Amino acid sequence: MAEIGLSEKMIAYCGLVCTGCPAYLATKANDEAKAKETAEMWAKEYGVEVRVEDVWCDGCLVAGKKCAHCAQCAIRACGVEKGVENCAHCGDYSCEKLEGFFKMAPPDARTVLDGVRKTL
């Protein structure tokens, strides 16, 4: 499978790539088994209960289903309020909320946003 280019990826406000997220992929494929696998993986990884119904997600930048975390994400709420494409487009980049997220997020989230920022 060919890798999709940056412009074809849905980059969440926080820099995670929605189009590569297992919840997004399960939702797009309507794959209950993949959603269950994702719920189990996240429960183990984050030490919290994650139900299959908490996994379904169309991506953080579009209307539709949001996984439980995205639905309540303060970074997403801030980006929506400010009307930015993602945090790289924000005049306050990189804020305290985002820096807190980067401490626990995969390192590529910062790398993705830094890369977007360089293109602006």
Query: Is residue 83, in this structure, part of any structural domain at all?
Result: yes
Query: Is residue 2, in this structure, part of any structural domain at all?
Result: no
In total, how many domains does the chain have? 1
Distance CA 111, CA 107 (A): 7
What are the pLDDT digits (tens) for 75-90?
999 999 999 999 999 9
pTM of the full predicted structure? 0.85
How many CB atoms lie under 10 A from the CB of residue 117? 15
Query: Is residue 27, in this structure, part of any structural domain at all?
Result: yes
What are the pLDDT digits (tens) for 101-119?
999 888 899 999 999 999 9
The predicted pLDDT at position 106 comes to 86
DSSP characters for 7-76? GGS-B-TTS-BGGG-HHHHHHHHT-HHHHHHHHHHHHHHHTS---GGGT--S-TTSSS---HHHHH-HHH
Query: Is residue 114, in this structure, part of any structural domain at all?
Result: no
Query: Is residue 48, in this structure, part of any structural domain at all?
Result: yes
Query: Is residue 116, in this structure, part of any structural domain at all?
Result: no
